[in-house]
Amino acid sequence: MKPNFSLRLRVFNLNCWGIPYLSKHRTDRVKRLGDFLNRESFDLALLEEVWSEQDFQYLRQKLLPAYPAAHYFRSGIIGSGLCVFSKHPIQEFTQHVFTLNGYPYMIHHGDWFCGKAVGLLVLHLGGLVFNAYVTHLHAEYNRQKDIYLAHRVAQAWELAQFIHHTSKKADVVLLCGDLNLHPKDLGCRLLKEWTGLHDAYLETRDFKGPEEGCTMVPENCYVNRQELEQFPLGIRIDYVLYKAVSGLYISCKTLRTTTGHEPHSGSPLSDHEALMATLCVRHSPPQHNPSPTHAERSPLISVLREAWTELDQGMAQGRWWATIAGYVIGLGLLLLTLLCALVAGGEIREVAVLLWTPSVGLVLGAGAFYLFHVQEAKGLCRARAELQHVLGRAREAQDLGSESQSALLLGQQEGDRAEEQ
Amino acid sequence: MKPNFSLRLRVFNLNCWGIPYLSKHRTDRVKRLGDFLNRESFDLALLEEVWSEQDFQYLRQKLLPAYPAAHYFRSGIIGSGLCVFSKHPIQEFTQHVFTLNGYPYMIHHGDWFCGKAVGLLVLHLGGLVFNAYVTHLHAEYNRQKDIYLAHRVAQAWELAQFIHHTSKKADVVLLCGDLNLHPKDLGCRLLKEWTGLHDAYLETRDFKGPEEGCTMVPENCYVNRQELEQFPLGIRIDYVLYKAVSGLYISCKTLRTTTGHEPHSGSPLSDHEALMATLCVRHSPPQHNPSPTHAERSPLISVLREAWTELDQGMAQGRWWATIAGYVIGLGLLLLTLLCALVAGGEIREVAVLLWTPSVGLVLGAGAFYLFHVQEAKGLCRARAELQHVLGRAREAQDLGSESQSALLLGQQEGDRAEEQ
């Protein structure tokens, strides 16, 4: 790599709100999105909530000349909704489906059926290995009483771990997506602290878009007003995050966000705003890369502790639900035995027969509920164990750091004393 | 690293057959396994089918002095059954649960409830980054009519992809486990071709154990004789596989396999045989590392093609089952409407009420069956897409290789001609 090496990269991210039959003006919006992407010719366009594979195929055809490489990440029953269009050849791709993703019986929320995931693309650009990740975490339906909090924290942890373990040889890491997390939310801090990713909105000096970088704003006619009741300016839940290895320096030259209506037609492309970032990767002079200091490790330790508590509470709750379900199964079986006895005895036969269906339903439903929550508790326990291990090692490193700092200080003091003598 | 650097590593692998209430003499075998591991003091002991967490906790306590680091990989409803005991500190660990793992309605086989997975440990040994993987793939219940073949191929692919993407900075890669694959089975070849892992049994010059390295042998009193009907010598489905990066050379000095009975007590530790490998990692002089030639790429291309076909067939079958389930749902709904009409009309009321439960059950069951097979087809489609991409790139590389070889040959011929002139 030449010392004056510089790589410019234009990236687009949008949660497309593409639910067939439910999202308003979907076909028109997908068409306009295709036109917009063709006009702008980004290096990489990462999309979420493209729930219909037909929409992806339509875009693929339309964008083929400008974006020869594309991939649709399939998972779950409905899909992950994630896809990507790239101007540059995709060297490799893979995906990781999150272990926990809501509850199957919350059918009206539907996240469980989607198979939320993180997709990874490996690109080779200007001699650099470039890992681009696209993701979409579980939605937040009620911020005051968020029953999905533990799952979202577990997803943020799995996302961070997936990036951590798959990007070890990458020169540049880029993560785009709808995290369904506000900037100061636990999951967002956990992700940033463990991966070391930087937030384009916070880093750039040239931002144009809604106040506070919001990506769901009241000006957008498709936005659900109820979701923004507590936030008159809007919320920021879509992100462009990045980092580069030592020896390289990555910065966000400009970050543009749509403002609730598309510049040309006036009506928005989605209920979310699109993020358009111009990133610049440059060679940075070799620097002394000291191990993180005591003060630098503290935020990681504190966020790990907080996440541990959240996962632990989620686990306890999962186990509690499994226990309740266990009791219900027992009750249901008792009821079924009673009904069988009544039918056999010829007493109130019709009532017994009528009660048979709901009783069988109760036992089967409670059985499924039990199995689901046992699996949920196991999933949370797994994330907690991984997190606890990292926490342990971070503490060890901190203790070692303090010791060596103390030793250094002691050595210095002794040296001072020696000099004094 | 010094030029005369050498690292010796003793590794143990065993499928423990630890099903509570079902596996014979489980408690005694776990106790004897603990004694054996303590006596032998391996660097790393990787275990499968430790289904009871109590067994893991018992071993953890017992092995603590000799193996200070341990981890149990939790997943699914029952668990992954995977755990590890290490003499050396574990730097990092994580896991990947396979997307496809049999069918929930095949309750008697039970694999679906386990959450089969691959676990990863990162160790730092002698200045090297050492990635150790432990796994257990879906069992093969009927080799002649294997309904899980597509799932096992998809698992082998996910396993290979997980290793490929998480080991890019590792100096040494080790994979141990029960693959439920014979050495020449498609999944095994796919895994080895895509990851470049070598088989300890085939590589070592010093093997002691049953003929052909079998890990399930008829001499073992716990083995299910039916499983070995076609294979009088036994089968080899448990593996120690490894590779090292360029600049390092890894070899298997010795490989020992138990022979159906434990040397001291005479009765075996499990229905599988244990594998004990002594690996040696050495510095190898810098070598010219040419890109794979045409001939070297052919086996990869051929196995990718074969796997593509298998996944494609599995996908078609998954879709077929989903379609059938769709028809059954329709029929069930029709039946329910008819029953409602009969009840409302007061005709054969008791029969209608009696038929209500099975009809509701039919609709719900077919609904769950439909959703499951839609998700199965999506999972297989995902693996097929990843595989197809790798196949495309391997072919491109092969074509480029042939072209450059032809160009080289052409250049040489022209040179010869020029010399002749």
Confidence of residue B332 (pLDDT cuts 50, 70, 90): very high
Round to whole Å and give the CA distance between B371 and B321.
Answer: 10
A411, pLDDT greater than 60: no
Cβ contact A171:A178 at 8 Å = no
What is the pLDDT, as a whole number, of residue A416? 44
B414, pLDDT greater than 60: no
Average pLDDT, chain B: 90
Cα B233–chain centre separation: 23
What is the pLDDT, as a whole number, of residue A284? 81
pTM for the predicted model, two decimal places: 0.92
Considering only CA atoms, give the Rg of chain B.
26
Query: Of the given ranges (A59-73, A344-358, B231-245, B271-285), which has the lowest mean pLDDT?
Result: A344-358
Paired with B97 in beta bridges are B117
Confidence of residue B290 (pLDDT cuts 50, 70, 90): low
What is the pLDDT, as a whole number, of residue A291? 57
Structure tokens at A47: 């999309």
Q: What's the rounded mean pLDDT across residues A369-397?
A: 95
Cα A345–chain centre separation: 58
Which residues, other chains included, contact B393 with Cβ-Cβ below 8 Å and sequence gap of 6+? Answer: A91
What is the pLDDT, as a whole number, of residue B405? 59
Q: What's the rounded mean pLDDT across residues A52-75?
A: 97
Query: Of the given ranges (A247-261, B188-202, B208-222, B348-362), which has the lowest mean pLDDT?
Result: B348-362
Which residues of B belong to the active site?
272
Chain B positions touching A371 (Cβ under 8 A) are 77, 113
Size of interface A-B (CB pairs under 8 A): 97
Chain A positions touching B361 (Cβ under 8 A) are 360
Catalytic residue among A151, A198, A272, A373: A272
pLDDT higher at B399 or A99: A99
What is the pLDDT, as a whole number, of residue B166? 97
Confidence of residue B301 (pLDDT cuts 50, 70, 90): very high
What is the pLDDT, as a whole number, of residue A407? 61
Confidence of residue A247 (pLDDT cuts 50, 70, 90): confident
What ipTM was predicted for this assembly? Answer: 0.91
**Cβ contact, residue pair B169, A169, below 8 Å:** yes
B295, pLDDT greater than 80: no
Q: SS3 for A275?
A: strand
Give the number of other CB atoms < 10 A from CB of residue A344: 10
Average pLDDT, chain A: 90
Q: What's the rounded mean pLDDT across residues A149-168?
A: 97
The 8-class DSSP code of residue A365 comes to H
Q: Which of B79, B357, B393 sits opposite A378 (nearest CB)?
A: B79
Give whole-number Cα distances, B99 to A79, B144, B222, B381, B382, in Å. 13, 25, 31, 12, 10
Give the number of other CB atoms < 10 A from CB of residue A376: 25
**Cβ contact, residue pair B371, A90, below 8 Å:** no
Q: pLDDT per residue over A273-326, tens digit each? A: 999 999 999 988 666 555 566 566 789 999 999 999 999 999 999 999 999 999
Round to whole Å and give the CA distance between B53 and B195.
Answer: 31
A177, pLDDT greater than 70: yes
The 8-class DSSP code of residue B211 comes to G
Which region holds residue A28: left if phi is over 0, alpha if psi is between -120 and 50, else beta?
A: alpha
Does A198 participate in catalysis according to the annotation?
Answer: no
Angle, alpha carbons B6-B8-B9 (nearest 5°): 145
Round to whole Å and give the CA distance between A153 and A159.
Answer: 10
Q: pLDDT per residue over B122-140, tens digit each? A: 999 999 999 999 999 999 9
What is the pLDDT, as a whole number, of residue B420? 39
Round to whole Å and give the CA distance between B155 and A87.
Answer: 31
Chain B positions touching A96 (Cβ under 8 A) are 96
The 8-class DSSP code of residue B227 comes to G
Give the number of other CB atoms < 10 A from CB of residue B266: 8
A61: closest CA of chain B, how far (Å): 18
Q: pLDDT per residue over B167-191, tens digit each? A: 999 999 999 999 999 999 999 999 9
Q: Which of A95, A371, A393 sits opposite B77 (nearest CB)?
A: A371
Q: What's the rounded mean pLDDT across residues A198-226?
A: 94
What is the pLDDT, as a whole number, of residue A359? 87
Q: pLDDT per residue over A112-141, tens digit each? A: 999 999 999 999 999 999 999 999 999 999
